Structure 1
């Protein structure tokens, strides 16, 4: 016969159950459920209810839409979920590590959430909703940490809040496709990315934003200045109304005769033509003095900006008074002390060979009469930074030293174009060895060499990520044509660290980081954009196939490299590998498959699922042949 449990024991067990239930409840779970209670149409978040797991376990999110770091919630990514209702900012204040919120592509309406209550906020993405009304001028006063604010495609009205112009760390601001009115505020710290297009703004573009691409202001009714048309001055607009009242009520000023107007117009046109001709001649002389294009047929004497005019008119370099005029030199700025110095005229006099035309301009190989063979790259898109900022960035790049980086030797600054000088690498690029070796009569790269190249690339990238922590994407333009191979087939990375100085429009069209899924889908890049580029490069090295998604926009073939590999692989991983690698030794097949998996993990479309660079580099370094190499 079963014995009945005494009442006091039953009460004790009940209390213990309640105690342990409360002990294991997550405060963050309560916070998220409270946040959800303010939402409407939240079926997409139904899994939050009665979820026995904590929202975060280490870096892994157990709840949909939650971003985790070391077991704590640092952000919410609730995009494309059909959500509406109210964003309860007060509940999010209970999350101490909360810095990011994204509710893009939902149905939220009403006034903008009170983001000011989250002073540690770094990023807020509210685009493509139905938020409306005027934003208070002080709405962003306390958000001194915020870097990215996207409010595109809503229904905001009124002036752009003045507090936006004072944010010290703001790098991205998108206010396009709203109904903002009034003038554009003068930003104390202009963001790198700014879009004010398709609003109802008017007035001049402030000086702090004068270098922003004109497309970022298009679609407004009366914005002028900057790269748009010049603003009309008050004197010009009112001059017509002030000329007819000077002679009294009974008389009016006479209009000038038509023949006088014709003569005036003809004279003005002639003056413009003369000025234009003079400028063209001057520009041609400067181009002959400073442009590498004259390398192919160097003049007997290099004429540089500031060249002594008397020297041109004298004989054998003598001036009119018979004394030898000082020779003008256009100096290169060297960033390394271990190179023999030379100047631009030395380059122009050297025997030269055009190596080709890349994304940003032409490259020339110059064999100096004394010293090494160098490569001169000519850039015309490096106007994203002012002169001092450009010079400082070049000094920073010049200090980088690593066995897998091609070092910068020297540079030449001119507003219209820049020259970067580096050592010539005789063995050429990885792209040539992967895709052009047959036409050059060269053997294909074997598996051991390809693994060696991948490891070297990873080491070079690791160094850049360590030494350039402030850059959003330390390399930014990693592809097989920007990996050179030395005599022992060790890789040397080139064209690294250029994003801060390349024009944004050119960068978006040409640079590899801007081909990444996160930019295509969300219009932003990150440090993991380099990881994605590394993954694409690994797949290219293993398959021998050029990645179509790195071709220009004019290409018809745009299938993503990673998706193509996944389609081909199926259950037969060996089918995807380049047959030209030759015979694979025992055990190397498993290594190749491991590297393929690493490459695919680096190419994950979801940035949160993509490998961190440190993890990717570590897994690549662990790949060893049977002999330990």
Structure 2
């Protein structure tokens, strides 16, 4: 009886809370739908409808106890207006992320929602100056990321007064002038690299790593060089004769260094034939090419003094991932390095840096794309985020050559174990095929305007991580490579459609993938590389029976035959009969990675049956 009385007394309260939660959800949905209307290209938000509340699966909506507290609308191709005034009607909203989209124009007025704690707007196309009062009153703001945009002018002074700020990312913009006098002791992540800042670094920030300030030639003070040293160097501008002497002397020293370098090079050429055939680039990169264990003695930059008579300019790396620990070109060049491989597009090195191993790829056959257009293309590639695609962490631009930096993958590429002593069991090979298919489909979805999205899919461009998950690499190169060179060496340009029509299609990647499937099944080198004028059917027939086509390390037959048929369908010369990559993924996914026993294999089919099926 007592329990019933308590329940009756509690019922009005429960009903009130239920009604409040329902009305609040409706209010949130109305606000978000109004906000959606201010955006453009909202296909990714198709499930934002009134048929269900926002906290019941709306894409990118984060909730807690039925209330919207965050919006994570990243990598969606959104543009238009970020209507902060409408978002301010969500009283529990504390976090917004619009990273990796296409928003343009000035910074939204964030003070309209002063309760925000985290704001991520990196990797967009925002531009213009930010008013000094842009962050006035935002006492809750903890994390602000505005990297990789085109903001200009001074860093807003009110940022230095935000009391709870712990992360600030402003790198890769066009900010100028001095850094405001930040006093927040809790500021643990701070990056203003690759801007146009000048003057002394505030004392509170001197404890940070030098990479947080790299790419700002006129910044000084700890952790960079002292401002007094910079003043002594600039003092030479008052004495033109002295400046000329310094420049001439530095040039002479550089000339002697280059001569000594070339003499040593000439002596070594007999022992390293693969380097003798390489095109010569900048001195420091050529020395890296020799696999030098220590690079700290190399000639810096162009090997000449700066116009001010000071130190030579330091080449800058552009980072594509916010979470990547920053380092500058000088640190990279001083790291231990060894050459891993040389290809028709350049060389690949393994570098030890800050306790971890990195892969550095040097490309020498890039086209004459402008620096701005090249950077834009790299930013597109930098947004790639998939478990089966190897991410590019940073790059370096020079007119004659480019560097790509990525994490080192210890198991190498699938060409290595396939042709070496290490054999891959059937389940591992099927896992690789499935991962490659998913990675390829992802690239086609993320790079819809790029035809084909990969363009150079082959065994050596599929890496294997510690668990033998495949990682696609060397993707998205077609727009930035010299076409004449690419036509002779890239797999896509060897496809039937290019031979017949001189055009590539999205199905060209499917054709490349089909040949890769055959490589993985047979353990043999690609017919494209070995016999480019021989069709797949002829290549298979030269192997004898269907049984002998398969790598003898694999003791299964049924699903191997299914995968063989998929590979052959991908290799069809007729574009209309060749499947789309989405269909290929569905077909491959239907093959289960179950184990087979010898009894199943022996009872599958006789050799004569397999011969007839081949015909």
TM-score by length of 2: 0.49
TM, length-normalised to structure 1: 0.48
